[in-house]
Amino acid sequence: MKLVKRDILNIDECLKLNNIKYIDVRYELIDHLVSEYEAMEIYQHLDSFLSERMAWCKEIARKKQKSIPRRLQKMVGKMFFTVLKKPKTWLCVVLVGAIFYVLSGQQFSRGTMRYILLSPLLACVLVQLYYMASLGFKSNWTNKFLALNYLVNLFALPHFFLWGIAGWLPKELLNNYYFMVPYILIGTLVNYAAILVFLKRRMGIWEEYRFIKDYMVYN
């Protein structure tokens, strides 16, 4: 039995009501459900068909949501090694190192020196916080929450380096430059890699969603 536009809209509404918010998951499920329903030889009411299938639909959305943080952390790790291989990165590291070396010759207190050392890492985190605050500003609360959730997942591991300085690292290590300099260097590069992943993903997601929006039946 061929489904009409109205039925497809009802399926989409049903998926939304069941908290399946990801548009890419929804359109894939719609196609599956419609194909399965249309191939049925014995007539079944659409509502009862949908209620029978909703359990696995929710399961797919749940698994997709669960896989996002892991996938994002993997992407950050991959990008970190890509950044490490770039000569430009090492040129920046040498330049920043030279600035620190010159500054270390000045009569700064240990605390001030620590903040100077932290400044590249803090700059990266501030850029990330700006993205987290500005993304989805004009969209509704659900979209804002989804966008924020995505960003928190993306930046969670990179921020770990900042939390280390803010809390769990012992004081002796914080005062040890042989530990702190590589720690902040790695922390800054991981945070930079996360920003690159974010920018790359944003472009990809934007293009994909624009395509979907143009073609979805309700647009």
Residues that bind other proteins (CB under 8 A): 4-5, 8, 24, 27-32, 34-36, 39, 56, 59-60, 63-64, 67, 71, 211-212, 215-217
DSSP assignment of 98-115 equals: HHHHHHHTS---HHHHHH
Choice between 57 and 117, CB closer to other proteins? 57
CB of 109 to other proteins, least distance (A): 48
Choice between 52 and 130, CB closer to other proteins? 52
Given phi > 0 = left and psi -120 to 50 = alpha, else beta, which region is 19? left
- Which residues does 20 contact at the CB level (< 8 Å), separation at least 6? 26, 29, 57, 58, 61
Identify residue 124 by its one-letter amino acid code. Answer: C
CB of 72 to other proteins, least distance (A): 10
CB of 128 to other proteins, least distance (A): 22
CB of 29 to other proteins, least distance (A): 8
DSSP assignment of 81-148 equals: HHHHH-HHHHHHHHHHHHHHHHHHTS---HHHHHHHHHHHHHHHHHHHHHHHHHTTTTS-HHHHHHHH
Choice between 5 and 88, CB closer to other proteins? 5
Choice between 22 and 179, CB closer to other proteins? 22
Choice between 199 and 217, CB closer to other proteins? 217
CB of 205 to other proteins, least distance (A): 13
In whole angstroms, give the CA distance from residue 84 to residue 81.
Answer: 5
